[in-house]
Structure 1
Amino acid sequence: MNKKELIGKPLAVPHRSWMKKLGPGLITGAADDDPSGIATYSQAGAQFGFNTLWTLFFTFPLMVGIQIISAKIGRVSGHGLATNIRRHYPWPFLYGIVALLMFANTINIAADIAAMGAALKLLIGGSSQFYAVGFGLVSLLLQVFIPYKRYVRVLKWLTLVLLAYVGIMFAVQIPWGQVVRQTVWPHMSWKPEYITMVVAIFGTTISPYLFFWQASQEVEDMEADPKAQTLIDAPDQARANFTRIKIDTIVGMGISNLIAFFIMLTTAVTLNMHGTTDIQSSAQAADALRPIAGEFAFWLFSAGIIGTGMLAVPVLAGSAAYAVAGTFRWRNSLAAKPETNKAFYSIITAATLLGVLICFAPIDPIKALFWSAVVNGVIAVPVMFIMMLMASHKEIMGAFVIHPGLRVLGWSCTIAMAFVVIGMLWGMFSA
């Protein structure tokens, strides 16, 4: 029986283990805690103690809402975000968004690879640049030569490295009463440095590349299943898929924010309370932990940086490739072999190798990461705006336009991110 014969028939969902039910949402959430994100959360904990923990509870429902919307657009229409934008909106807008996304992702890849190299140098010594090249090449080879189904399983199991940051909690003494009080009732400030940090946390947790990745992964998973159809063609499959998307995304974003909470909490307890308030990188945070929290915490933190980097770099490179390929109508699938999908894999290769080369350039990595965050924050707002329009567009979503509750949540996230960008620009020009 071919796919056309299956249209309209219910999707049989056999009993599967909980791990197999999780996919795009889990990987997307875990990739959000990349080495660059770890550096941001570490700086927040070191500089402001427990007073930024509230941000992670505030952003959680916003992340869930906007990521569910991106996943639904992919699963209902059978196309990624770039393809949908190209089909229904002005092309200059698409070209501008994709160019900025490619720039931001490449800088982010460079920062993550450099952080992985620095972390391995802390653990075993040697050359951080040599290690960075190795990590970049290994990540690229895995993306290009491992079949998609097997590679997704690798990414799923890599999410377990995030447990390292839960493990650190058991190596330090935590004043839980104070943590709860300052999470619920934090000492907020209107000082530019505090506002800038809140902006950085928002920009780290809500990033455009995550929208493009999750939507495209829904398409990849659909095409990998011979029984699956776009939900416009097979509406009977909607209930099971929407339930899966909801659970997958809530779990993925929940894990993402929980790990960010533990990173912020750990650095607040170990660094801030001992007078170390200036942390500029994830590797520096790991090194600073050693004399305070001991070797165990140091090794867990450093190993986590490497593991999350190996998870995040493919997501950054892949989301850029999906966006560019969708823009120019190239075939875009990690399930296809490189020789039949050369243009798509060339973008993955270019983004990863450019990231490696930037590690050798005379560029301040902190400034590069800052500008990447600025670009991400700026393009997140128009991307979310277009996503909200697409999610309510009957030509794209058919009978599955998003319901009022999800619409409110999505627009709330868009408005919150717009305020974040305004705050970011205000901090830049008032400094």
Structure 2
Amino acid sequence: MAKDKSGYIIAAAFIGPGTVTTASLAGANFGFHLVWALLFSIVATMVLQDMAARLGVATGKGLASNLRDMATAPWLQKLFTLLIIAAIGIGNAAYESGNLTGAAIGLNAFADLGTGTWALLLGVLAVMLMWTGRYRLIETVLVVLVFIMALVFVLTLIFTKPDWQAMFLQLLSPQLDVDTITMVLALIGTTIVPYNLFLHASLVAKNYQGAEKAAAIRASRRQSAIAIGVGGLITLVIVATAMMAFFHQAATMDVTNMGNQLSPVLGEWAQWLFAMGLFAAGLTSAITAPLAAAFAVCGALNLKEDLTSWPFRAIWLAIIITGVAIAAAGFKPLAAIVFAQAANGVLLPVIAVFLLIVMNKNKQLGAFRNGTTSNLLGLLVVTVVVCLGLYKLGSLSI
């Protein structure tokens, strides 16, 4: 059996232009004072993705299929189907424009063809890769892009000559108040991505037999922990880079042109590296967002979750075309990404609660059903995110 790299695909999925933008703004405006939220998000992602992976391995089905099977009443099945199509299908179509625009901005730093042209070319590239239906090829491309991101963002940080002592001191003085709550929710929302739970469960859903299930789950846990840790490290490096370049500096971070804004601070080569990282981040998410939506919607509609099936291809193709159309029209959604990620953080507990219910109620899980530790960690994640969301709502009325 070929070694599964689904954890790296999840890392590729959550490190998109939204992550680059949100992490850059967090570092520029608040330094390392909000890194506690990022560290919480990384641990929470590992906990929730482990549940999704166990569900996929043990049942041989994705999260959407399991949610549909759990709902015995026809009206509840229809409600789940509508929620999944609206939140994951339509939502990912909206995110796709941001993914393509982010990658296009990165490429435009190398050759000024216009972000619309680059978005169109990237959309064609994504379609060509996805149309092959070759999972291992898609997986390999995404893993390579993750490591490119890791390399270029680390090199960019080196250009800033980081002040490790200042970072450590700020890490020890975390902040949470009316001024920081939106950014805290955005950091959580850009790391713990609800559609990744659907994606991960579907990627590992195979017909394992007997002891193969336990071995597959152990391997998935190790590999996911490493991959998600790498993704978290990339995000942390982006926060550190923006902190050193902009925190308490005269320069201001402009999210619509981050690479060019870094040029006078870090130098021409660092700006190019940052642009390359933004391109890699955008392209990975431009591939994984439609892939996740296709798995989720096919599962919700009880259609075949196969990369070569026509319904599967029709769903991801519609999402890419929508993203290309919006991006090519010149709409630049990067300015709204922080709000979108904050909304994602508020939506997260709803999906997490459903996942917890499935992990305790599904009889197919057997020995892989949630134990006390998993349930407590899952409830802790849900509680923290709900409390932050309520705090955000309360702050709006102040």
TM-score interval, normalised by the smaller of the two chains: over 0.9
Q: 1:235 aligns with which of 202, 207, 210?
A: 210
Cα deviation, 1:66-104, whole Å, max 9, x if unaligned, reads: 010011111110000111111112221332233122222
Residue matched to 2:373: 405
Residue matched to 2:239: 264
Q: CA deviation at 1:150?
A: 2.1
Q: CA deviation at 1:315?
A: 1.0
| Whole-Å separation in 2 of the counterparts to 1:373 and 1:177 | 30
Residue matched to 1:5: none
Residue matched to 1:181: 169
Q: 1:300 to 1:426 in 2, by over 3 A?
A: farther
Cα deviation, 1:199-257, whole Å, max 9, x if unaligned, reads: 110111111111111111102xx3xxxxxx34xxx331233112111111111210111
Q: CA deviation at 1:426?
A: 4.3
Asked if 1:289 corresponds to 2:262, the answer is: yes
Residue matched to 1:17: none
| Whole-Å separation in 2 of the counterparts to 1:362 and 1:157 | 29
Q: CA deviation at 1:114?
A: 0.9
Are 1:44 and 1:197, in contact at CA under 8 Å, matched by a contact in 2?
yes
Are 2:359 and 2:365, in contact at CA under 8 Å, matched by a contact in 1?
yes
Q: CA deviation at 1:58?
A: 2.0
Q: CA deviation at 1:421?
A: 3.0
Gaps of 5+ in 1: 1-12, 14-19, 223-228
Paired residues for 1:144-293 under 5 Å: 144-162=131-149, 163-186=151-174, 188-190=175-177, 192-219=178-205, 222=206, 229-230=207-208, 234-281=209-256, 284-293=257-266
Q: 1:29 to 1:268 in 2, by over 3 A?
A: same
TM-score normalised by structure 1 residue count: 0.86
SS in 2 for 1:156: helix
| Whole-Å separation in 2 of the counterparts to 1:404 and 1:241 | 21
Q: CA deviation at 1:359?
A: 1.6
- Select between 119-128 and 70-79 the one with higher mean Cα deviation: 119-128
Tell me which amino acid in the other structure corresponds to 1:276.
A
Tell me which amino acid in the other structure corresponds to 1:317.
P
| Whole-Å separation in 1 of the counterparts to 2:6 and 2:367 | 23
Q: CA deviation at 1:154?
A: 1.8
Q: CA deviation at 1:430?
A: 4.3
Are 1:140 and 1:352, in contact at CA under 8 Å, matched by a contact in 2?
yes
Q: 1:167 to 1:363 in 2, by over 3 A?
A: closer
Tell me which amino acid in the other structure corresponds to 1:247.
R
Are 2:21 and 2:334, in contact at CA under 8 Å, matched by a contact in 1?
no
Residue matched to 1:380: 348
Residue matched to 1:137: 124
Residue matched to 1:120: 107
Are 1:46 and 1:278, in contact at CA under 8 Å, matched by a contact in 2?
yes
- Kindly tell me the number of residue pairs found equivalent between the two proteins: 392
Asked if 1:97 corresponds to 2:84, the answer is: yes
Q: 1:248 to 1:65 in 2, by over 3 A?
A: same
Q: 1:391 aligns with which of 359, 371, 375?
A: 359
Residue matched to 2:14: 32
| Whole-Å separation in 2 of the counterparts to 1:198 and 1:263 | 16
Asked if 1:310 corresponds to 2:283, the answer is: yes
Paired residues for 1:303-342 under 5 Å: 303-334=276-307, 337=308, 341-342=309-310
Q: 2:69 aligns with which of 73, 87, 109?
A: 87
Q: CA deviation at 1:189?
A: 4.6
Residue matched to 2:57: 75
Q: 1:29 to 1:420 in 2, by over 3 A?
A: farther
Q: CA deviation at 1:346?
A: 0.3
- Select between 360-369 and 242-251 the one with higher mean Cα deviation: 360-369
- Select between 74-83 and 362-371 the one with higher mean Cα deviation: 362-371
Q: CA deviation at 1:329?
A: 1.2
Q: CA deviation at 1:161?
A: 1.3
Tell me which amino acid in the other structure corresponds to 1:82.
A
Tell me which amino acid in the other structure corresponds to 2:291.
G
Cα deviation, 1:373-400, whole Å, max 9, x if unaligned, reads: 3553343222110100111124231232
| Whole-Å separation in 1 of the counterparts to 2:327 and 2:31 | 31
Q: CA deviation at 1:21?
A: 4.0
Gaps of 5+ in 2: none
TM-score normalised by structure 2 residue count: 0.92
Percent sequence identity is 25
Q: 1:404 to 1:152 in 2, by over 3 A?
A: same
Q: CA deviation at 1:22?
A: 5.1
Tell me which amino acid in the other structure corresponds to 2:314.
S
Q: 1:140 to 1:421 in 2, by over 3 A?
A: farther
Q: 1:424 to 1:110 in 2, by over 3 A?
A: farther
Q: Alignment RMSD, CA only?
A: 2.0
Asked if 1:419 corresponds to 2:394, the answer is: no
- Select between 29-38 and 89-98 the one with higher mean Cα deviation: 89-98
